[in-house]
Structure 1
């Protein structure tokens, strides 16, 4: 019924192809001409911006330059090809909504799978992260950092926070890490210390809080009394200084009494002269002349020593009388290791295992503390009354604690080493 016998065969295909390759005209899309291999010579395209029912040209593309440009291809043919990416640009595109701001991407559908993010429900130091008992929302510094970082992504992320812990005590962070490892949580956000053992199983972002283990210890205030002028030097220093005054007086007397009338007289007068001469040098008020070269050499050296002593004493006394002096009996981690007194740590912190495994401190000496109030009370009581001699904790918590509590200070420097 198709009457195929009525169809004829066209056998001039090569002739048609030859004629097509000889085409040379200007059409709606520009110049149409083919090279010897049958490819278009200088193919080019308009880049158009569709705006509702209209459109506008925002640039061009041609294989001559191989780049997007606002310059027409015909204008580029007369110039050497320039394939630099610095020259690639288009006019501004008007996006849906009549805006020139580039869209971030597609919004997740309502049935998209949400990321389950575990968040520590802390009992103490809630400023970092915790669950609001009134509203049930998660808040804190770590949450603020996360939401601000998320807003910088070029696409939306669907997530939900899942509190980890009862809120009546600080949760165990190692258990939280294990839940991320076992895919119970897709991620975890919070004040989670980056230790070597934890990086074996999960990945961390770059830390956004400066941290390190430090020692908290009670401080004692130096009491200012009428005898404060004796505090710049210890008793041993006072004794040694007085002894040197007498020795110098005797040495100068031995060198001068044979040739100097000022160092002669009855024995009692000579003893008084020795004492008077030596101590008068403290105020550079000695009146006896030295005549021998040896005596003058000894006196010059001694006066230089006296200048150093007087300057040091003056500076120390000024500091004592004008600045509140605070001091701790603990100078560093070595004092903790050499003692047998109890040491406090924060519940849930890795500091406990760190002190046991890295510092070889007996676990029986460690006392778990759950809040800043317990910190202050334990340090106030001291080891003899059921408290602790010091507390080892991470610097962020310590700085937050010290912003509220006084008469307590950081002793020594940060002492983290392996495994941090």
Structure 2
């Protein structure tokens, strides 16, 4: 553990915007009511602005414009210690999904989730990262998958889906328009989405492929706050796509993958891409609007939609999933709140990969459960494989009976073949 490295990283992460955010907080407590961890525990340590205390203390001691005068009067915080970092590790990794809901209610416009991300980078410098995340990162670097799914296994899964649908799925095919990447959970648990994509793309007449060099979008480096690992994982996707010469890379039903590749990726690799990034839900909506996908019939169940935080609140893909549902669902009902104000599944930001956080994560699901109890849907649809997995686990834990469905797979069910 290197405390000095952690402090140096925290201080270097405090740019003008971060400093203005740290100075702007008026400790009003608005963010507390927006956080599902605080709401379901009442523990003041889980108030979002409190989680910023390590970064705030580093700023006040090392970068505050008035720190020189304040030091004369003993008004600067003490230097951070090993005990401080260990204590805040739980707050930074276990009780924050980086969902950003606290940020949208902050009257001062503070990007609290962004500052937590900066704090995580300090934790990485001090080697204080949950084992679940470091293990996932190691597997991703070694095999290409945080779950250890090797290319040979991936090829077998794709072959099985091709056989099930009767549609050939060509891997590593150059010169096509689209390269699809999947979330880790889609490859492991929800691989039927591959068959659904094959059916949809055949119907729409798209040329597409998947790469055996970069088939997963999950970026553990982004989640844990390690820029070096994040760059390596993004670079794999970029290199594979540019080697194949595709026009688009399709980001999957995965929360953070879209922002990791679309916005953070160019900064990490230091250049613009030779392709465009499009989220699968954006693409499906475009195909529906263009008439390249037509559907037949509608689902009669009472359906609701869980908005994945990174896709909807932070990614802006709000209306597209609802437009698709409007085409295939006969009895769609919104949860309250929904859209940009949605409540997190509880497992984003690496929390679902962190066994230390499991008890707290399941407790935080209480907020989502209250939403569902009010709406009483027959099934819940979402557009994130990680959300789907987390929601299924929590639903089982609370003895609820409610299928969680993929929007892509649901659309494929109603294709007008």
Tell me whether the two structures share a fold, i.e. TM-score over 0.5.
Answer: no
Shorter-chain TM-score: what band? under 0.3
Bigger share in strand: 1
Q: TM-score, normalised by structure 1?
A: 0.24
**Larger proportion of helix:** 2
